Amino acid sequence: MTIFWRMLLAHLLADFTLQFDIVNRLKRKNMLGMWIHCLTHVVVSLALTWNHLSETWFSAWGTPVNGWGAIALMFAVHYGIDELRIYSMKRGYRDNTVSFLTDQAAHVYLLFMICPVSMGASASVTGEKWAAIASLLVLITHFTTVLIYFLEKDIFGKSFPDFDEKYFLIFERLVVWAFFFASGYWWVPFAALWIVQLLYIKRKRIMDLSGLNVWVSVAMSVAMGLCTRYVYYGSL
């Protein structure tokens, strides 16, 4: 699972952390933007798997394919998936939560197919701790921001959050997530208290946050925190 988690981290970084607004807008307009976006995936993937590129990742009709070939295939398929999504939008299909999650599921499924995945008794599902935890970090920060955006857009018609709201919620989720690293069960009261103060902020309208935004943030923080705790300690 080592290569899979590194490739998953590369995907999350390139698709969320490093996909700046200008790139996101540009890829929806012309081929140059899509090339920039997809080549970002290639560069980050190569950087994170450099020591494994000469290894065989999978076999196609009996022909072994190494890391170089696998990443080239990833580039081509990723390009095709993203172009199909943009084409469907231009044809009138809504870019909504379902399309967003379907797009992400397709990308992750592709990684599962091209990366060596060992499910033997001696294999670790979480792979290297640092890669798994870094992936969970991106999920709790930028991925959750985009997920909440699509949910609020579909339900309330809201636009993408402004700078203050975006990074305030990222900070709040990060603090809750960080408590899960505490040894023993001290993380429980501290995480609970921080969640209470977030609910207080919403109730007092110190910042205008929807209930959906707050509860999805709390749910993702707890879910990713539990996953992180399992990766870090080997148990909950």
Average pLDDT, rounded, for the chain: 90
Residue 126 has pLDDT above 70, yes or no: no
Mean pLDDT of 28-33: 87
Which class for 166: exposed (0-12), middle (13-18), buried (19 or more C-beta within 10 A)? middle
User: pLDDT tens digits for 77-91?
Assistant: 999 999 999 999 888
Please enumerate in sequence order all residues whose Cβ is within 8 A of that of 64, keeping only pairs 6 or more positions apart, or say none: 56, 58
Decide which of 204 and 55 is more confident.
55
| pLDDT of the residue at 121 | 45
User: pLDDT tens digits for 165-194?
Assistant: 889 999 999 999 999 998 888 788 888 888
Q: Please, what is the Cα angle at 13 between 43 and 70, to 5 degrees?
A: 45
| pLDDT of the residue at 120 | 47
Residue 204 has pLDDT above 80, yes or no: no
Please enumerate in sequence order all residues whose Cβ is within 8 A of that of 12, keeping only pairs 6 or more positions apart, or say none: 135, 138, 139, 142, 143
Residue 4 has pLDDT above 80, yes or no: yes
Q: Please, what is the Cα angle at 31 between 30 and 32, to 5 degrees?
A: 95
